[in-house]
Amino acid sequence: MLRGTRMLALACLWLAPLLILYTALASDWVSTWEAFAVPSMRPPFMDLCAITGGVKVQQQGGDPLLDNPADPWHRALPYPRIWVHLFSWLGVRDSHTVFLGIGFCVLYLICVSWLILKFESSFGAIVLVIAALSVAPLLALERGNIDLLIFFLLFLGCMATNRFLKSGAFFAATVLKVYPVAAQAVDVIRRPLKENRVAVTATLAAAAIWIWKWRELGAIRRAAPVSTTLAFGVLTLKAQAEYVSMALLAISLAACAAILAFAWVARPSFDGAIRNSKFAEMFLIFGGVYAFTFAVGSNYNYRLIFLVPTLPLACELVRNAKHRKWGIIYIASVLIAENSVVLGLYQGAPLEDLATFTLFAMILPVLLEQAKEFLLGVAAAFQSSAGVAVSHDKVAG
């Protein structure tokens, strides 16, 4: 039964988005995507067009991070300048965005296919394919958003067993999009300090690069608008709060505090087998990226794709009597967050806010527990080193 479920899940995973893309490109782009409740805009793979437009502006002596009139929607480029240099060096033009958009889609599908093939559960395969083809991931495919490539790089880093390849993949993702520095930080705290010197070096190097390019980072933040619809994160919640009464805001803050407290009390504790599994690593890495982006900004819903690799661990916990409720709530929250737009922007926003905040509240305690164990290990290592130094001094005396 498991094999048959996997094959059916893989068939759906590949056929559905590729057929949508074929139909959209062959007929009407907007109406095809909107038939699947995916908000759509022209031209196809619009986010890639922002970069090709940026190449034109740069060649004319302008700065696309400040003003990007060659973009179809005249959006200032919200991506690091390295993307303009890469597209210019590779000769990527508007006519190439279709191939690049489809290529990003294929990379994403390859990653999810690996998850389906490796997970020993029919239930998990079904959950994964539903989550992977929900509205939020389909929005990423419709936009041709570069988060799909970042998703692939982080996935590659999780799969790599060579520490240089692992840290290199995470480093490349951070250079291309800033926020994967959270994945690097999580990678550092996952292992004892003596085993992750390469990860520490890569993380410090990435942080140094963005400190050095702080003006560019500021331009990127200004170019990325805070959205109250089709978005999640602290800044989105703050913007939404400006339209509600103080009484409702107070109730919402109390509810958030209650959710955080409950999530901390109910946080799962992992045994050795789960802690050392690839699924646990993916939960921490991708969950860390989600928690970081939620806490520091406003993110369009396509970034919810980073929740997909966290689902295998949640599915494993569903089979654990002690953590079953936690796993069920987590999976339900992911599916609600990814599909709440189906209810309509105004009707769906409160439900989406509840689901995305609940996920943040559930992931954060797990990350804090991991950080606590890392810090205790560092403290123990320093105490051990100090003890050895004292014993050497006594011997020398």
pLDDT digits (tens, 9 = 90+) for 161-209: 898 999 999 999 999 999 999 999 999 998 777 778 899 999 999 999 9
Say if CB 313 and CB 158 are below 8 A apart. Answer: no
As a whole number of angstroms, the distance between CA 323 and CA 325 comes to 6
CA 10 vs CA 109, 155, 196: distances in Å: 9, 18, 35
For residues 128, 129, 131, 136, the Cα torsion angle rounded to the nearest 10 degrees is 140
Contacts (Cβ under 8 Å, ≥6 apart) of 182: 288, 289, 291, 292, 293
Model pLDDT, residue 397: 54
Say if CB 40 and CB 34 are below 8 A apart. Answer: yes
Taking residue 83's Cβ as centre, other Cβ atoms within 10 Å add up to: 20
185 CA to centre of own chain: 14
- Average pLDDT over all residues of the chain: 90
Residue with tokens 């993380």: 203
As a whole number of angstroms, the distance between CA 26 and CA 76 comes to 30
Tokens of 82: 């390295």
Question: pLDDT, tens digit, for every residue of 19-33?
Answer: 999 999 999 999 999
| Terminal-residue alpha carbon distance, the chain | 72
Question: pLDDT, tens digit, for every residue of 69-114?
Answer: 999 999 999 999 999 999 999 999 999 999 999 999 999 999 999 9
As a whole number of angstroms, the distance between CA 238 and CA 252 comes to 12
Contacts (Cβ under 8 Å, ≥6 apart) of 377: 192, 193
pLDDT surpassing 60 at residue 390: no
277 pLDDT band, cuts 50/70/90, is confident
334 pLDDT band, cuts 50/70/90, is very high
Question: pLDDT, tens digit, for every residue of 287-326?
Answer: 999 999 999 989 999 999 999 999 999 999 898 888 899 9
What is the secondary structure of 291-339 as a DSSP string?
Answer: HHHHHH--EEGGGGGGGGGGHHHHHHHHTSTTTHHHHHHHHHHHHHHHH
Whole-model pTM: value is 0.93
Model pLDDT, residue 363: 96
pLDDT surpassing 60 at residue 15: yes
318 CA to centre of own chain: 23
Tokens of 32: 């095809």
